[in-house]
Amino acid sequence: MTIEVSAFRWVPPFAQGFVRDLRVRWALEEAGLPYREALIGLRDRESAEYRAWQPFGQVPAYRDGTVEMFESGAIVLHIADQSEALCPRDPAGRARMTTWVIAALNSVEPHVASLAAIDTFHRGEAWTTERRPQVEEAVCGRLTALAAWLGDRDHLEGRFTAGDLIMTTVLRELVASGILSRFPTLDAYRARCEARPAFVRAMAAQMETFRAHAPAARTKASD
């Protein structure tokens, strides 16, 4: 069975390029594993069929005929287990890769997501005047520690792994705010990872899906 990855047919422009099926697409491209999209819309998210695959109605979900799973971090770890391009084969290297995946998801992303939620969904609301500086301070604290670890390394552990893949997708969400530019080492690291051919292919695939299913494209196709 060809690998299937669920993805949204279309999302508003502010979310395009950031939906988390990008992580799985990127991992599959790095691993050289073919896949096909299982596209869903808003109504599909609530269906019993999709909830049996992804209990929370989110994307991505994954299946390959043997394994059926959800959560982008878990899926990337599963793919990494099959690919030396994403995971060193020695136990120590594998453990470090896993550590950085979890660190990106647990130690960095929650703070980044809090800031993104304020800036995207609550901009201008009175409560954000006091709360946003606190959230930004927490983000910068994590970035300071991460930059200190990275130092002059090209990657978190000396070579690209799934840890870098997940960390890059987290850091990308800070570009628009201007915060990441305060940390040139991390911004250069993000750009370096985004320049990888596998990332470019994954991003192109996600964006092509959104273009093909944009409201204007759907209207034109029905004319």
Q: What CATH number is attached to the domain comprising 102?
A: 1.20.1050.10
Alpha-helical (H) ranges within the chain are 21-31, 42-45, 48-53, 72-80, 91-103, 109-121, 128-150, 162-171, 184-194, 197-212, 215-222
| Same domain for 34 and 78 | yes
Q: Report how many domains make up the chain.
A: 2
| Rounded Cα distance, 6 and 206, in Å | 11
Residues 151 and 66 in one domain: no
> Are residues 100 and 192 located together in one domain of the fold?
yes
- For residue 63, being part of any structural domain is answered with yes
Q: What is the pLDDT of residues 141-195, one digit of tens each?
A: 999 999 999 999 999 999 999 999 999 999 999 999 999 999 999 999 999 999 9
Residue at 36 is within a domain: yes
Which 3 state secondary structure label does DSSP give 123? coil
pLDDT, residue 221, reads 47
Residue range(s) defining the domain that contains residue 29: 3-85+199-214
**CATH code for the domain in which residue 17 is found:** 3.40.30.10
Question: Whole-prediction pTM value?
Answer: 0.94
Are 115 and 135 a contacting pair, CB within 8 Å? Answer: yes
Same domain for 135 and 205?
no
Asked, as a colleague might, if the bond just before 60 is cis with ω within 30 of 0, I would say yes
pLDDT higher than threshold 90 for residue 218: no
Q: Is the residue at 69 inside a domain?
A: yes
